[in-house]
Chains A and B, each alone.
Chain A
Amino acid sequence: MPDDRPLLIATENEETSRLATGLDADFVSLPDLTSPETFEAWRARVLAGDARERVIVSVWPPATDADDLVELDAEAWARRFEQPYLLWNFALGAAAKRAADGGRVVAVCQAPAGLDAPGRTPELAIADGVLSLVRSVAAAEGPRGVCANLVTTPIGLVQGDLVAPAPPLDGFPGTIETHVVGAVRTFLAADIEGLTGRVLAADGGRTL
């Protein structure tokens, strides 16, 4: 029988630690982007692990200020887009294989709402790319009953005054313990069947 505890495959930082605590999940940290050998060793180790009914994935980069794209040189682009996005590919690939037949994969990705996107081109590119990857996992693993879905959150991406209108709900951009964990639990719930390839924006209605 697969282990009952959820498995969280994620970058190692405060936000994902809080996510693991909120979900009572076992934690597998993603490797640094150092070399192909590092990745292959990490992947071989993670793929050899036991199957899990519930696998959560999150790549949560260090906080950055919003910057116009023209201000991002190659180094900044690599740090804000390329490196996190490559980690997402590896993390979701591992999650797809670790998920037990009939299991659930849920990705948790930072994403600015469209209104708040200026200065956040790398982050919105990652979020839309991750949605497509999640849907790829849903398509690839669906025949063995695996559901794959995405929760997005603007936590960590909001600066300054918001463009009107204000989000419908108070408390924007939310907290990991309430808004994010709650949305993930929704996708993990035993009585939710047939939902796959979906995205749930845990953002107080900001994307409406």
Chain B
Amino acid sequence: MTKTIGNERKVVVVTGATGGVGRGIALACGEAGWSVWIAARREKEGQAVAAEVDARGGVGHFVACDVGVPDSSASAIATILAEEGRLDGVVHNATSGLSPVPVSLAEVELADFQDHVNVALGALHSLARASFAALKESRGSLLLMTSEAGFEGKAKLSPYAGVKGAQRGFARALAREWGRDGVRVNSIAPLASTPAMERAFELDPAMADRVLGRNPLRRLGDATEEIGRAARFLLSDDASYVTGHTLMVDGGSCPAV
């Protein structure tokens, strides 16, 4: 690919990047020659993705991070800054393991609500606070991986839909707050072929027909070539005048937009 001037060797971190969309974003950033930190719980899988980043022309690293644990996200950012001395992009992609589990809103247990909130928003708050000074220095950006569920809601995945909507509000507000310091905040609502989506299809067999039946392109997106490269665009200097935006990378699927 052609590298854009100003985009050379950016340093970015992606949470939940051991698979699925997070891995796709990491690999797409690796294609640009960037330094990519895989922030995840599982070291073996994280190191494997880091090696894939290397193979695509970037520099891959692993940093231990359990986004459901208070202070773990901030600790990961501190590790990266100590190693690299800079940070250009933060991608919060990790989501609760309960995300694809169908449930009625009236029956969700408090602990399950808290897990959704801790992973989607608690970690985001921690990541944002820990990285702001470095992003201000680099005039970098924060990117949230939300979902079309955050626009339209989901009958059987209400807790997931709720936190994805909350992430959009978080990004809209923070973009206006951080814009004065040159830091951009954006979101992507992807529809990707991932292990999580495959599991959701298994748990709710009719879901595949519902998801693909309304999709003009009649397919799921590729996590690297379609979702990851869109994420790379928003992290790059090519998107230097884009902030507070949610980019739908869903094949035109979401009817709420």
Mark A residues whose CB is within 8 Å of B. 36, 39-40, 43, 47, 68-70, 72, 74, 77, 81-82, 85-86, 88-90, 92-94, 96-97, 112, 114-115, 117-121, 123-140, 197
Contacts and interface: CB of A to CB of B under 8 A. Distances in A.
A132 B151 contact: yes
Contacts of A135: 151-153, 161, 256
Nearest to B149: A132
A129 B177 contact: no
B257 interface: no
A184 to B, nearest CB: 20
A115 B177 CA distance: 10
B56 interface: no
Interface stretch (B5-13, B46-54, B109-117): B109-117
Contact of A36 (B111, B158, B165, B168): B111
A150 B245 CA distance: 22
A60 B235 CA distance: 36
Q: What are the nearest 5 A-B pairs in CB distance?
A: A132-B165, A135-B153, A128-B169, A129-B166, A136-B153
Contact of A137 (B113, B121, B158, B169): B158
Contact of A81 (B106, B125, B129, B174): B125
B255 to A, nearest CB: 11
A32 B232 CA distance: 43
Contacts of A118: 173, 176-177
By DSSP majority rule, is chain A's interface helix, strand, loop, or mixed? helix
Interface in B80-119: 104-111, 113-114, 117
Interface of B: 70, 104-111, 113-114, 117, 121-122, 125-126, 128-129, 132, 149-159, 161-170, 172-174, 176-177, 244, 256
B153 A137 contact: yes
A69 B153 contact: no
A88 B166 CA distance: 12
A97 B174 contact: no
B125 A77 contact: yes
Contact of A124 (B107, B110, B128, B170): B170
Contacts of A93: 104-108, 158
B123 to A, nearest CB: 11
Contacts of B128: 69-70
A206 to B, nearest CB: 14
Contacts of A124: 169-170, 172-173
A72 B152 CA distance: 29
Nearest to A139: B155
Q: In this complex, which of B122, B125, B152 has the most chain A Cβ atoms within 10 angstroms of its Cβ?
A: B125
A44 B55 CA distance: 55
Contact of B153 (A47, A77, A115, A134): A134
B111 to A, nearest CB: 7
